[in-house]
Structures are given as C-alpha cells and as structure tokens.
C-alpha cells in the first residue's frame, strides 16, 4: 500500500530543519552541469547529450553505478569546477531546509587524473564558506578513501591532505564494498584517529552485517554509512540501538542500486521503531532520483504509517548524529519545535 503524505506532513518534511550526513559531492553532479563543465574544459564524453547520459542511469548494483559516477567526475579539472559543483548542491540543500551538511569527497578520483588536491579542497571549501554566508548552512568536509584501492594509497592520500587539515573534519570509506572489508584499512584509520579526525565508513550496503561490526570494532568509526544489512543480525541491531550508533541511510539509493526491490521493502521504519539512530540522506542525488526531501517524501509515501512523530525523530536523529557542537544542535532542536508548532496552528 502507498499513499501520498497529507499536505501538512509534506510541508513538515520540506520545512523542518535537517542535517544531511551522507552526500557524495561528486554524486550531486547533474547531467546538465557535467555537459557544461565538459564543454568548458574540452573533455569529450561518450554520450551525445544530457538525455543520452540520463538514459544510462539504470543501475543493477553498486559497481554499475560507480562506473558512471567516476566517468561523470572526469569533467572536474579546476578549482572553479569543484566550487560550481558544490554550490549547485548548496542551492538545492537550502531549498530543502538543510541547516548542516557533512559532505564526502573522493580525492583519489581526482588526483589519479592529475588534478591537484589543493584545487579540489579549495574549490569545495570556498563553496562551504559561501553557503554559510548566503544561506546560513553550516558544513564540513569528510575525505573518503576508495576501498577498491590499496591501504598504502589511502595512507599516501591522507599524508598528502595534511597541509589542508583545517578544511576537513574526518575520513570515510567508500566505493566497491564487497571483497574490500574494513580491516583492509585498519592502519589508515588508526592514523586518522591519532590526528584527531572523525571516522566514518560505508558498511552493510552491499557487504554483509559482519562489515558493520568490523568497521565499529577495528576502525572504531563513530557512524556507519548505509548499514541497512544489519537486519541480518538481530544481535547487531540490538547493539546499534543500545549504543545509539548512527546509520546514515539513503532510501532512494538503496532502491536504485537494487539493495531492495522497492521502498515498501526498505527497513528504515523498522530500524527507527527499534530505537536505532537512523537518518535520511541522499547519497548521490543526481544519480538516484532526488535530494534529501525527495528521499523523505518517497519513504513516507511508501510507508503510510509514518507521520509527524517519525518525521520529528528523523530530524532529531540527524542533529544527534552530526559532528556539530552541542550549542548548534540545541538551536536546531528549538527551530524544529518552532516549525512543528507553526504548522500545527
């Protein structure tokens, strides 16, 4: 069964303040911008036009998406390209009432093509500063290691990024999950912890529940990105609930990459009911059919028992799971209650 959320609930999902904690900035690159940057930089694309590129967005699994995602990122060469990409995301985030975004970026995707790391980080950091000035959106960058590459390459990337340490708050782990377990990156995460960086990792998206446990126990991550396959281990679900380990869940992504056949089969509502700190996020919005409010609306449409209480809890979870200060979290909670009250009267 599915039914459109009532107009007041739709208004709440859009207007409530929220933090977005699982967003790959390279996954926010819309086809129109890909073509604009390709023309600007003289990069040839193997697609005739925007329509042809969009038509290729029919994925069967994570790898089939990653192949296109890395091809799309090939148009990013200069600092202003990274700025333009991030600025376009912040415009969408402002419309969705995102008050805070913790944004993943994949340095190795760019440095492997000869793009200087400084161009990547300075372009993104410039957009973050402007988003704060123009929209009041707070943000932070999280540097992700590509797990299909070696740990030595991840270690070299971390060292190369250290001159830019003030521009990122943490490290993450993304790309092809199966066959690349968290333990492969134990040393580089230990080094990141030593440097005082926050640690998160994708786990339990396509990989087994065991990867969630090793990400927690061996990498000592503070959040799990995706984590939905925890449902295969009742003991793990209980642990995640008890320890309030945040899961940054991405409903539309999971359907587009065939983790679930449809949103009705998505376990987020069950995990929320079980007391886990689950949050709603967009992952790669340009590729998966929507930004964060689109994810909320589609999820609530597919699960008609979700209402105001769950919307409120999901917003609260996003604040709790963020790496922002307690003072800012308290302010967002007050803003959330004010929005709920305004919409109720």
Q: Which of the residues are catalytic?
A: 205
In whole angstroms, the minimum distance from the beta carbon of 222 to ligand HPA comes to 18
Choice from 26, 206, 283, 294 touching Zn ion (CB under 5 A): 283
Q: How far is CA 342 from the centre of its chain?
A: 29
Q: Find all residues with CB under 8 Å of 200, minimum gap 6, and list them.
A: 142, 170, 171, 172, 173, 221, 222, 223, 224, 225, 248
Task: Please give the span between the terminal C-alpha atoms of the chain, in angstroms, as a whole number.
Answer: 30
Which residue, 17 or 31, is less far from ligand HPA as judged by CB? 31
Binding range to Zn ion, per CB under 5 A, among 105-113, 213-221, 279-287, 291-299: 279-287
Tell me the C-alpha distance between 225 and 171, whole Å.
12
How does 149-180 read in b/e, with b if 16+ C-beta sit within 10 Å? bebeebbebbeebeebeebbbbbbbbbbbeeb
Residue 255 has, within 13 A of its CA and on its CB side, a CA count of 19
Q: Which does 205 bind (CB under 5 to 8 A by kind): Zn ion, ligand HPA, none?
A: ligand HPA
Residues 47-86 that bind ligand HPA (CB under 6 A): 62, 69
In whole angstroms, the minimum distance from the beta carbon of 42 to ligand HPA comes to 26
In whole angstroms, the minimum distance from the beta carbon of 177 to ligand HPA comes to 6
Backbone angles phi, psi at 203, to 5 degrees: -160, 145
Q: Find all residues with CB under 8 Å of 266, minimum gap 6, and list them.
A: 228, 251, 254, 255, 260, 299, 302, 303
Site string for ligand HPA, 271-310 (x = CB under 6 A): ------------xx--------------------------
Q: Which residue is nearest to ligand HPA (CB)?
A: 174
Q: Find all residues with CB under 8 Å of 94, minimum gap 6, and list them.
A: 131, 135, 137
Which residue, 257 or 339, is less far from ligand HPA as judged by CB? 257
In whole angstroms, the minimum distance from the beta carbon of 176 to ligand HPA comes to 7
Residues touching ligand HPA, count (CB under 6 A): 11
Q: Which does 282 bind (CB under 5 to 8 A by kind): ligand HPA, Zn ion, none?
A: none
Which residue, 106 or 213, is less far from ligand HPA as judged by CB? 106
Cα–Cα distances in Å, from 119 out to 115, 288, 318?
7, 27, 30
In whole angstroms, the minimum distance from the beta carbon of 226 to ligand HPA comes to 7
Query: Is residue 24 part of the contact set for ligand HPA (CB under 6 A)?
Result: yes
Q: Which does 27 bind (CB under 5 to 8 A by kind): ligand HPA, Zn ion, none?
A: ligand HPA
143 strand-pairing partners: 105, 171
Q: Which residues bind ligand HPA (CB under 6 A)?
A: 24, 27, 62, 69, 174-175, 202, 205, 253, 283-284
Q: Which residues bind Zn ion (CB under 5 A)?
A: 283
């Amino acid at each position: 069964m599915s039914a459109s959320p009532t107009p007041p609930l739709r208004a709440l999902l859009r207007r409530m303040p929220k933090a977005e904690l699982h967003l790959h900035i390279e996954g926010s690159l819309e086809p129109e911008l890909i073509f604009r940057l390709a023309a600007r930089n003289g990069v040839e694309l193997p697609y005739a036009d925007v329509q042809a590129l969009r038509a290729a967005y029919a994925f069967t699994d994570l790898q089939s998406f990653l192949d296109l995602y890395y091809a799309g990122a090939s148009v990013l060469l200069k600092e202003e390209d990274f700025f333009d990409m991030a600025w376009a995301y912040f415009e969408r985030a402002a419309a969705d009432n995102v008050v805070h975004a913790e944004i993943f970026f994949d340095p190795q995707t760019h440095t492997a093509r000869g793009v200087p790391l400084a161009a990547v980080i300075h372009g993104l950091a410039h957009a973050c500063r402007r988003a704060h000035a123009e929209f009041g959106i707070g943000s932070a960058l999280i540097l992700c290691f590509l797990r299909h590459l070696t740990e030595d390459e991840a270690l070299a990337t971390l060292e190369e990024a250290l001159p830019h340490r003030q521009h990122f708050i943490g490290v993450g782990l993304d790309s092809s999950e199966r066959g690349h377990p968290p333990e492969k990156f134990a040393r580089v995460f230990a080094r990141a912890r030593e440097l005082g960086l926050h640690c998160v990792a994708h786990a339990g998206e396509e990989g087994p529940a065991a990867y969630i446990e090793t990400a927690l126990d061996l990498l000592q991550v503070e959040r799990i990105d995706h984590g939905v396959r925890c449902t295969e281990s009742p003991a793990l679900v209980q642990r995640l609930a008890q320890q309030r380990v945040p899961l940054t869940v991405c409903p539309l992504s999971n359907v587009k990459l065939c983790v679930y056949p449809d949103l009705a089969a998505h376990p987020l509502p069950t995990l929320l009911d079980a007391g886990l700190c689950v949050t709603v996020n967009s992952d790669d919005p340009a590729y998966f059919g929507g930004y964060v409010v689109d994810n909320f609306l589609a999820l609530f449409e597919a699960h008609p028992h979700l209402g105001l209480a769950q919307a409120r809890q999901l917003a609260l979870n996003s604040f709790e799971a963020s790496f922002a200060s307690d003072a800012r979290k308290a302010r967002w909670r007050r803003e959330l209650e004010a929005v709920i009250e305004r919409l109720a009267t």
